[in-house]
Amino acid sequence: MTAIDPFVVIVDDDESVRDALMSLLRSAGYRAEAFASAEVFLDSGAAAHTGCLILDVRMPGIDGLELHRQLKTVRANLPVIFITAHDEGSLRQRVIQAGAVDLLHKPFSPRDLLSTVQSAIALG
């Protein structure tokens, strides 16, 4: 990976998840940044240069599904990977139909996440 590789952003309210994903992505050569909430992410202006978004489904305030809906109006082709600790039967189908690349259930393997990020960036 080089400095021109896509910028991967994580939005998750769980600090340990953010830290672990940042370490993993950076060790794989990605430029990465993490945000504790959708609101902080939106206020940062990072959406304009995000190449792939890893987004928790359930968060206080604006949840991942709502953030995805908002972003689609300004960045329709932004690759989004949802992550969740909750197994909600039809959730995978709903997020895929909404245009997400995939839904990964926590805990997921580092290999699965990196493979999904690589696929998402290829689509973007």
Convert the pLDDT of each residue in 72-105 to its tens digit. Answer: 998 888 999 999 998 777 898 999 999 999 999 9
Asked if residue 4 has pLDDT above 90, the reply is no
Backbone φ and ψ of 107, nearest 5°: -85, 135
Cα–Cα distance for residue pair 77/73, rounded to 1 Å: 10
Q: Is residue 91 part of a domain?
A: yes
Q: With cut-offs at 50, 70 and 90, classify the pLDDT of residue 2.
A: very low
Q: Is residue 124 part of a domain?
A: no
Residue 65's domain is classified under what CATH number? Answer: 3.40.50.2300
Q: Is residue 2 part of a domain?
A: no
Q: Is residue 1 part of a domain?
A: no
User: Which residue segment(s) compose the domain that 67 sits in?
Assistant: 7-119
pLDDT digits (tens, 9 = 90+) for 15-41: 999 999 999 999 999 999 999 999 999
Q: Is residue 43 part of a domain?
A: yes
Q: Is residue 65 part of a domain?
A: yes
